Structure 1
């Protein structure tokens, strides 16, 4: 019988179940593996990544969002690494990876995907479960379409693949830039690269702002403020316009291949609202669906819940 798990009812029930599973699981499992911080050269670029867990275990490939890096997974990696091989790269222009100027590297989502594809082939996870968040979704879905045989499962956390997910006011000035990339429209987007905007991404929609560490924007903002990085990010804002035309292709991938999918979504996200989460249920016959009462970077406030849900999901859906 087709199963469809919908956990939208009451957040406290979701949190209680997730935390209980996580706590019960923790009592039986060994200590997490040490997280290693590594760099590999891909097409002349130094690509930094975090890695932990046994290499013969199922791999979870974590793909980060804007404006962060693999740093967003700093707590999730050890929470999974006793049982899974967990790998989280930084894209070019982000985190500790190379950040060549825009005249030296074409910052498009096609190119980010190419680098991540080469990264997986170099580092070695030939099959993996994909965790896609924000920018990780267009990278991850490109990978999935190109190599469906490599994807064992999907974990979607505020990662969009539907027009409904970008129909809100946040996207209006960005869409205007896609339609007519004038210098004025480009400059209007620089406000998204400020400390105020970065802090807003981490704190908007959370239940308790005191749970959000300032180390988050303290890590991100100095990287955004590097010389030349604004132009990198603005190039990717423009390239994001290449993603909506691919949504039908990504949705066809979901309908055709029916990857086991866990949706864990911060429902108060003003960038990718819950309206973009629900359509996954149209295309997937079996989807485990959880709306969490938090914002864009759901791991910051609900990391323990999400880790528990992932462990339960992968334990049932991905063979060791």
Structure 2
């Protein structure tokens, strides 16, 4: 099914009832901030919930970090084990320089895959956004039995989802010259990041400045802009793998919820609707907002995520 939702967040009257919790469960539900050393990468992650409960792995995109999932983590921690890492070169994760670590999506996936192994996450639902999507799809290809369900917040897997805004990037893919790389130099900048957060948002007063300010500071660190241009070049490998990702969807029919900001300047609604070809029972929902739909519509998207997980996973501690 496909739904479109207006700009107005849910009122307090529509909110689910607040559950009473005891002190021991409250401690479990608190978010912990941790590091896990994975080879040369010191992965920062947020974790909440009982490890014995069903796990949800949250994978952020560009330009974001695990911070984007902060409200989702709190909302799910009572019945789910929630883990949100910062990808290498994002957030608080400490990763090597370009000449010591290859910044490709294959390598990011290998790091996160090993991260899940070290945390003994044997089965998990994945929630993905933007760059987190091709990492998640690669994990699913490598370990289809581990992935219990998929939630995509503007995380693409179809050519139909790529807007005209990708044309200068495609030029870089097809001819990765110094000139074409320099033509994209305004992409990894604080101004560009702020634009990504507010573009397509009718009420920009709903977008916390903490989001783009934090990411703008991150991108301004020495060497970060070049790393992001490396990843932008390697994004071509994700598009090349779209047929493989789609074959996975068709074969394994994972439960899938897409919660999509329909005014995203990069990933268009047809990219979400295309899932219906491969997963006929996919739940596709559109919201009157942009690329970071959770920032403006968390009050309606998070209950949809919770309901989806409750329907498709065994809730509560196993």
**Bin for the TM-score computed over the shorter chain:** over 0.9
Question: Which consecutive aligned stretches of 4+ in structure 1 deviate over 2 angstroms post-superposition?
Answer: 10-13, 15-20, 26-32
- 2:158 maps to 1:136: no
Tell me, yes or no, if structure 1 residue 159 matches structure 2 residue 150. Answer: no
CA distance in 2 between counterparts of 1:44 and 1:243 reads 24
**Which whole-Å deviations, capped at 9, do the CAs of 1:205-250 have from their partners, x for residues lacking one?**
1121011111111111111011111111010001001011111111
2:18 is the counterpart of 1:27: yes
CA offsets, 1:14-63, max 9 Å, x none? x659983xx22x42364681100000100121000000011111111000
> In the alignment, does 2:293 pair up with 1:281?
no
Q: Is the 8 A contact 1:18 1:308 kept in 2?
A: no
SS, match of residue 102 in structure 1: coil
Q: Does 1:296 align with 2:291?
A: yes
Indicate the residue corresponding to 1:97 in structure 2: 93
| CA distance in structure 2 between the aligned counterparts of 1:257 and 1:134, rounded to whole angstroms | 22
- RMSD over equivalenced CA pairs, Å: 1.7
Q: What are the ranges of 5 or more consecutive residues in structure 2 without an aligned counterpart?
A: none
Task: Report the Cα distance in structure 2 between the residues aligned to 1:12 and 1:45, rounded to whole angstroms.
Answer: 40
User: More deviation in 245-254 or 26-35?
Assistant: 26-35
CA distance in 1, matches of 2:65, 2:7: 29
Q: Of residues 192, 215, 223 in structure 2, which corresponds to 1:220?
A: 215
- 8 Å contact 2:40–2:96 — kept in the other structure? no
The one of 302, 309, 314 equivalent to 2:309 is 314
Matched, 1:38 2:29: no
Residue in 2 aligned with 1:201? 196
TM-score (norm 1): 0.93
CA contact (8 A) 1:64 1:132 kept: yes
In 2, Cα distance between equivalents of 1:18 and 1:82: 20
Partner of 2:67: 71
Distance 2:216 2:314 in 1: 39
Q: How many residues align?
A: 310
Secondary structure, counterpart of 2:267 in structure 1: coil
Partner SS for 2:145: helix
Question: What residue ranges of structure 1 are gaps of 5+ in the alignment?
Answer: none
- Give the distance between the partners of 2:237 and 2:107, measured in 1 at CA: 12
1:119 aligns with 2:110: no
Secondary structure of the equivalent of 1:27? coil
- Distance in 2, matches of 1:312 and 1:19, equals 18
Offset at residue 12 of structure 1 (A):
6.5
Does 108-117 or 204-213 show the bigger shift?
Answer: 204-213
Aligned mates of 2:10, 2:198 — CA distance in 1 = 23
